[in-house]
Chains A and B, each alone.
Chain A
């Protein structure tokens, strides 16, 4: 029994979907942010699987770049969340409605 490369792509698609549904369903900003991380990771897994399919390392290099961008995004995003929490004393996404009429 062997594992076709498509199984990894299926698994990555499943993880991406779970992340997206979580992003839409949950209201806590921190959990939404973690769902974004999950989606980024699933895309990385897709890149690595395709890198193996094509026998080239370019996908892994791209995945490395995605990791660096994710690290930068987490840094700034968490700073924003801390600032929002100072402003509203809550991490509920519905509490941020300052632009509403």
Chain B
């Protein structure tokens, strides 16, 4: 079996992974940087969509086909549509003023220095032990014999034997069934919370105004002048809108 694995590697089975990594990785980093740099929030959101797609490609390469699909459906499909919807609803796509000064001086250089330090720490601490060629993961096609020789990266061929979705589902409904239920409760709470937060404050005065407005027009069109108390009651309402009140 190792001979088979070596043959598959010699045939270029895993150099394809390197090509995919270089091209998609460059695209991923570039789209992330331009998402941060974009003046216009809509363009930034579109760059983020590109970035989500590249990450879905990496999931697929890393033998997580189920997650790659979920990534595209949930992130690129649902979450980014929500983002774009809110950006366009608020109409804030031209608002980030580049000339205005920061409240805290020197945030940008400090952020960049801090980012470099953090990246170095992560690269050395997290990625460092796995950078050698001995920790290259066996490609799924040639994995059967290679699993044991390469202790640094086992690969998912064994775990994905029944299929990736089946494997994830089996874990999700056995070992992780309790977190799964908690997540479902969390999603219900989030949906309710979004509804509560998104609800416009119904000012009772507005309702009175609307009703009174209707009746006044009716009353005005009627030949006989009806009780003026009703019209007077509706008058003070229109001045109270939440924006003016809080500004």
Contact = CB atoms under 8 A, between A and B. Distances in A.
Interface of A: 1-11, 13-22, 24-28, 30-31, 33-35, 37-38, 41, 44-46, 48-49, 51-58, 60-61, 63-65, 67-76, 78-83, 85-92, 94
Given A38-B48, A41-B52, A67 B123 contact: no
Interface of B: 9, 14-15, 17-18, 21, 25, 28-29, 32-33, 35-36, 38, 41, 44-45, 48, 51-52, 55, 58-59, 62-64, 66-67, 70-71, 74-75, 78-79, 82-83, 86-87, 89-90, 92, 95-96, 102-103, 107-108, 110-112, 114-116, 118-119, 122-123, 126-133, 135-137, 147, 152-156, 158-160, 164, 167-168, 171-172, 175-176, 179-180, 183, 186-187, 189-191, 193-194, 197-198, 242-243, 246-247
B83 A55 contact: no
Given A1-B15, A82-B198, A85-B92, 6 more contacts: A2-B136, A21-B114, A25-B36, A55-B159, A64-B172, A67-B67
Given A4-B130, A6-B127, A56-B159, A19 B32 contact: yes
5 contacts: A2-B14, A7-B25, A26-B96, A58-B171, A89-B247
A47 to B, nearest CB: 9
* From B18, B64, B114, B158, residue with most partner A Cβ within 10 Å: B64
B118 A83 contact: no
B198 A55 contact: no
